[in-house]
Structure 1
Amino acid sequence: MAGTQFTHIFSYEELKEATNGFSPLKELGDGGFGTVYKGKLRDGRIVAVKRLYQNNNRRAEQFMNEVDILSRLQHPNLVSLYGCTTSTSSELLLVYEYVSNGTVADHLHGPRSYENALTWPIRLSIAMETANALAYLHAVEPPVIHRDVKTNNILLDNEFHVKVGDFGLSRLFPSDVSHVSTFPMGTPGYVDPVYHECYQLTDRSDVYSFGVVLVELISSKPAVDLSRTRDEINLANLALNMIQRSELDELVDPALGFQSNWEIRRMISLVAELAFQCLQSDRDMRPSIKEVLEALKIIEKGGHDGDKLEKEKLSKDSHLVQSGANFSPVTVMNRWESSSTTPNTSL
């Protein structure tokens, strides 16, 4: 495993001690491949310990994959891997930095939603930092496709800064190919429909998933809700329908000030348009995550660089972006011209 020579090896006994024998009282949550516990190492560090499920016949593969990928990466918006047990250990354990403030999903529509802590500025910052992390992944060599971008995998610290985690499904992506053919994996509600139907994974698959995250941030609705009507169980479909029908008022979380604050209304409308582009069924019509990040930066600045964005990023399609306050849901019907579907290889 390239890079794993720098990964610290913990003993099973040390991690069992750190988590009080994997006490249920220490559980932070369950992931797709294991249970995560809060622990305290002998050197005093507070950590999160992922204990892979014993009955998962792919656990060794997921373990090796996550160690291999995370040992290559270092970014302020990615969860840091502190170490692991050996791959031959009877228990496969991964040790990460502890991120104290729960997940974005917890705060949007989970057990912490009652706190109403995610104001619009914080949500926009979460979107930008998540896009920044994904842009880094897509730009490293070889590029990394996360393949499970969702609000449950976006952790928050006490200042609401982002740490993207859970790389069990991630894939190293050759920079000289347009896609990788692989069996579709991911979380329902977030999986790129092209990937699901054609088994073709690209960097635009992460962009689609990020589009769902953007809609969650503006709506506070979960990605999948069986109580919604059949064609709107998936939040992506619900959002596309409402934006096309100019019903953004019904989609946006009313607590954000969409009705009462013109500036917030304008910014949320811009983010909704960006999400619409990310969720296009034709992946060639989706922007790259780098383009998404640039657009979010302009939105955060108040859209005053709208003309610059139009000239520099969207010169091939002058109908997509209108300047400043003239940006309306109608414009998302037009095509985002993207120069390539291959991963970006430079920051």
Structure 2
Amino acid sequence: MNMIKEFDYKELEEATQGFSPTHLIGKGSHGLVYKGALQDGKLVAIKKPSPGLQILRDNTKIDNEISMLSSLPENPNIISLLGTSHDSAMNKVLVMELMPNGSLHDLLHVSTTPPTWPQRLGMAMQIARAVQFLHEEKPLVVHRDIKSANILFDSEWNAKLADFGLAVRKNENIDHSRVDSLSQPAGTIGYLDPCYTTPSKLSTKNDVFSFGVVLLEVISTSKVIDLSRTRTHIVEWAIPLIKKDRIKEVCDSRTELPMCMEGTIRHILRVAARCVSSREDLRPSMQQIIIDIDKHRSIDRVRVPIWSSLLESVVLIRRGRRSASRFRGANSVKCATHKGEVGGEFARGKVLLRDVLAEIC
């Protein structure tokens, strides 16, 4: 277990102006999160138990979160625990790195500016890597509460998995007869695996199901439970459309899907469909998911440059090499894609296609 710093509770009170409501930035499954400025000026997130748990002096989930985060190696996709403290009634308090750009839930459902498609793809991969990291721990960790509200963004918009109050380590000799809040099936309605009905059903496939729901949420920006739909749950609504290849109907209509990303998004939705399968044995592992998506992204990166190069060859033939140098300059044209990888080639190809058509006409 990593050494955890013990903070002076008075410093945390001062940092949050007595845990003022004006400093409240979030509510988790078992606590309230405040933004605070320590004496050295460092901005942090301070999590204390909810009022109900404070009255009961129930530190079970807070203790569990401390135990989990302090036992995990540092990972860029997992929120960092900086230290702990406790008040006069011995209620535990967590001090964590501040995630100033809020949650994925707020980005998808509150923000008026939807994320770009490359941003959605990047988020999906970062979340997948976070879950893979947990599943490859020894003993492995099942998070049990993967949802958009528990995925937070740092100052550079990197996604990190948070809220480990329900997380458990799965030992081979786990006692399924034990009855407490951490042994019983738990999670959030909408994201909770319907197959996870008893303690013996605990497995990494529970997290895979929840991850699949988050994938559908990221691509569609649809609420996980939407009472305005005939099929209220996102899985019941999206999967039939995916099976019929009606991809555009699942995608967020506020943001046009670039042609250069259609194949990747279609593939991601099919991955999501496998993740939420009612048959646990058909759900892929997180490692398989990452390899699968990365492989498809690589195919798309190659596919666009191939046809743009063919167009450039046509221009070379029809206009001569001197004129073609102008089209090579189109390399500087970028469309709004992740780091310009595919977008630059796509935009360049559009310029070439326009000029080929002009020559033909």
User: Which residue is equivalent to 1:85?
Assistant: 85
Three-state SS of the structure 2 residue aligned to 1:196 is: coil
CA distance in 1, matches of 2:302, 2:294: 9
CA distance in 2, matches of 1:288, 1:277: 10
User: Which residue is equivalent to 2:58?
Assistant: 59
1:25 paired to 2:16: no
Q: Are the aligned partners of 1:178 and 1:202 in contact in 2 as well (CA < 8 Å)?
A: no
CA distance in 1, matches of 2:175, 2:256: 41
User: Which residue is equivalent to 1:253?
Assistant: 252
CA RMSD of aligned residues (A): 2.3
Quick one: percent identity of the two aligned structures? 37
Q: Which amino acid counterpart does residue 162 of structure 1 have in structure 2?
A: A
Question: How much has 1:304 moved relative to structure 2?
Answer: 6.8
| Structure showing greater Rg | 2
Q: Deviations over 1:135-170 (max 9, x none)?
A: 111111111111100111111123221111000000
CA distance in 2, matches of 1:79, 1:89: 27
Three-state SS of the structure 2 residue aligned to 1:90 is: coil
User: Which residue is equivalent to 1:282?
Assistant: 279
User: Which residue is equivalent to 2:117?
Assistant: 120
CA distance in 2, matches of 1:177, 1:305: 47
**Between structures 1 and 2, the one with greater helix share:** 2
The list of structure 1 runs, each at least 4 consecutive aligned residues, that deviate by more than 6 angstroms after superposition, is 177-181
User: Which residue is equivalent to 2:134?
Assistant: 137
User: Which residue is equivalent to 1:168?
Assistant: 165
User: Which residue is equivalent to 2:146?
Assistant: 149
CA distance in 2, matches of 1:235, 1:179: 34
Three-state SS of the structure 1 residue aligned to 2:291 is: helix
User: Which residue is equivalent to 1:219?
Assistant: 220
CA distance in 1, matches of 2:233, 2:173: 30
CA distance in 2, matches of 1:58, 1:164: 26
Question: How much has 1:226 moved relative to structure 2?
Answer: 2.1
Three-state SS of the structure 1 residue aligned to 2:52 is: coil
In the alignment, structure 2 segments of 5+ residues that lack a partner are 178-182, 304-361
Cα gap change, 1:133 to 1:253, in 2 (>3 Å) = same
Cα gap change, 1:20 to 1:151, in 2 (>3 Å) = same
User: Which residue is equivalent to 1:13?
Assistant: 10
CA distance in 1, matches of 2:169, 2:33: 24
User: Which residue is equivalent to 2:267?
Assistant: 270
TM-score, normalised on structure 1?
Answer: 0.79
Three-state SS of the structure 2 residue aligned to 1:71 is: helix
User: Which residue is equivalent to 1:323?
Assistant: none
TM-score, normalised on structure 2?
Answer: 0.77
User: Which residue is equivalent to 1:186?
Assistant: 187
Q: Are the aligned partners of 1:147 and 1:205 in contact in 2 as well (CA < 8 Å)?
A: yes
How many residues are paired up? 295
Three-state SS of the structure 1 residue aligned to 2:160 is: strand
Q: Are the aligned partners of 1:37 and 1:48 in contact in 2 as well (CA < 8 Å)?
A: yes
Question: How much has 1:59 moved relative to structure 2?
Answer: 3.4
Q: Deviations over 1:271-303 (max 9, x none)?
A: 000000101011111000111111122233245
Cα gap change, 1:180 to 1:282, in 2 (>3 Å) = farther
In the alignment, structure 1 segments of 5+ residues that lack a partner are 307-347
Three-state SS of the structure 2 residue aligned to 1:82 is: strand
Question: How much has 1:196 moved relative to structure 2?
Answer: 3.3
Cα gap change, 1:102 to 1:299, in 2 (>3 Å) = farther
User: Which residue is equivalent to 1:316?
Assistant: none
CA distance in 2, matches of 1:202, 1:23: 40
Q: Which amino acid counterpart does residue 84 of structure 2 have in structure 1?
A: C
Please, which of 43, 47, 50 is the counterpart of residue 47 of structure 2? Answer: 50
Q: Are the aligned partners of 1:179 and 1:202 in contact in 2 as well (CA < 8 Å)?
A: no
Q: Are the aligned partners of 1:190 and 1:209 in contact in 2 as well (CA < 8 Å)?
A: yes
Q: Are the aligned partners of 1:12 and 1:85 in contact in 2 as well (CA < 8 Å)?
A: yes
Cα gap change, 1:59 to 1:120, in 2 (>3 Å) = farther
Cα gap change, 1:13 to 1:291, in 2 (>3 Å) = same
Q: More displaced, 188-197 or 84-93?
A: 84-93
User: Which residue is equivalent to 1:200?
Assistant: 201
CA distance in 2, matches of 1:131, 1:180: 28
Q: Deviations over 1:12-48 (max 9, x none)?
A: 2111111111111111011111111000111221000
Please, which of 288, 292, 296 is the counterpart of residue 291 of structure 1? Answer: 288
Alignment of 1:329-340 (within 5 A): none
CA distance in 1, matches of 2:188, 2:302: 36
